[in-house]
Amino acid sequence: MVDVLLLFKKVLNMILWECENENVKNLYVETNLTEFGKVIGHFSTLYSEIYTLKKHNNIYIAKAPKINANQSYEKIKDQISKFIFEIDHIYSTCNSSLIIKFGYAKVIGGVPFLISAKRHMTLRDAIEEQALSDVDAISVAYQVVCALEYCALKNIVCHQDLKPENIFLDQIDKKFVYQTPYSFRYQAYLADLGIANAALIFNRPWGSRPYMPLEQYNKVTQDLFNTTFSKVDIFALGVNLYEMLTGGMHPIGERTSDIWPRSILGNKWSREEVWKKWASKDIKIKFPQKISNERLLELIEGCVQTDSASRPDYKAIKSILLKELNKLDLNAFESLNAYLNMLMEAESLNSSSGWPYMEGLVKDINQYFENL
């Protein structure tokens, strides 16, 4: 009986990174997440643990840094610091019209968790269904650029991991009821600020290789960060736009979901050198015939230039996108502008009050780990 009580106390006060049994660790996490629902899915990425929960008809996502008993204390500290960094970034942007926010933050077994209701599809979901129309691709790209510009105003120079999985979409016709179909399909949000500015803060140019320009493969000094890294996301935007217009083809000449992030032993696409070599060439558009709109193809080619100084800035990209949208569909052009103006006006009215319901949570999370 004594042994059982000791075990019970240990479980109640479990530190997740001290637990070597993955089944016990997952059971402990699932038990502590029951207020958000039953865990119906769990997977790991290189840096994160992701749990999917269901409560009634609602789906929730819980995300935590990936840590285990085999890691050194310094590695664990680094992983948790990076995650706190993400929480602070999301809180500081505080723009629910452009940036995906989280609903709750909680410490479980000495590890921070972000919990959010899953209300959105990803751009990857949309691309896998079919290629986006020029109008929809332009409207999504324009909104993403607006979000990146907003982040820049909040001193987030570089998202560093701009990919379809980190762009969330709401279908307009499911948010609002109109007598006639809306002229553009999606409201877009920027998601996952987990490695934003990481090249500056952690001196690590992390990212996802299919979306990384040449400069993201090299070490970055603080002096070079603002100039060198200010257009990393523009390169990634070009790749994203190409995927939107081609139904998932990457400029390298392969379908992105077929070659990344599959870690098959011996697969050349898992090697950094393959992607680095591709990113070092200015002419890399393999299937221009799949894009009938020459102006958009020119924009993509400009975005993926090897020399970052040769890439257009956000202002130029927005101008090109709006001009092309105006030419293709005047109604969509006017509707997109009116819709975004409405969102920004509502956001401006709310900005003075900040994000009060999250303020205490963010403060508590930071205080909990300040002496880690």
Strand order from edge to edge, sheet including 167-171: 121-122, 167-171, 186-190
Position with higher pLDDT, 321 vs 5 = 321
Residues 321 and 197 in one domain: yes
Residues 254 and 105 in one domain: no
Burial class (CB in 10 A: 0-12, 13-18, 19+), 342: exposed
- Would you place residue 6 in the very low, low, confident or very high pLDDT band (cuts 50, 70, 90)? very low
Residues 220 and 176 in one domain: yes
C-alpha neighbours within 13 Å on the C-beta side of residue 344:
10
Residues 153 and 249 in one domain: yes
Residues 166 and 282 in one domain: yes
Residues 135 and 259 in one domain: yes
Residues 90 and 237 in one domain: no
What whole-number distance in Å separates Cα of residue 206 and Cα of residue 232?
11
Mean pLDDT along residues 98-120 = 82
For the domain that residue 149 is a member of, what is the CATH number? 1.10.510.10
Spatial CA neighbour of 14 closest among 2, 27, 3: 27
Instruction: Please enumerate in sequence order all residues whose Cβ is within 8 A of that of 345, keeping only pairs 6 or more positions apart, or say none.
Output: none
pLDDT at res. 243 = 96
Residues 175 and 220 in one domain: yes
Residues 219 and 186 in one domain: yes
In-domain check, residue 358: no
* Number of domains observed in the structure of the chain: 2
What whole-number distance in Å separates Cα of residue 87 and Cα of residue 112?
9
In-domain check, residue 363: no
What whole-number distance in Å separates Cα of residue 128 and Cα of residue 244?
9
pLDDT at res. 245 = 95
In-domain check, residue 265: yes
Helical (H) or strand (E) element with 189: strand 186-190
Task: Decide if 137 contacts 80 (C-beta within 8 A).
Answer: no
Give the structural domain span for 174.
121-349
Residues 156 and 259 in one domain: yes
Residues 261 and 291 in one domain: yes
pLDDT at res. 163 = 96
Residues 272 and 152 in one domain: yes
pLDDT, one tens digit per residue, over 285-308 is: 766 567 889 999 999 999 999 999
For the domain that residue 113 is a member of, what is the CATH number? 3.30.200
pLDDT, one tens digit per residue, over 141-178 is: 999 999 999 888 888 889 999 999 999 998 887 766 66
In-domain check, residue 199: yes
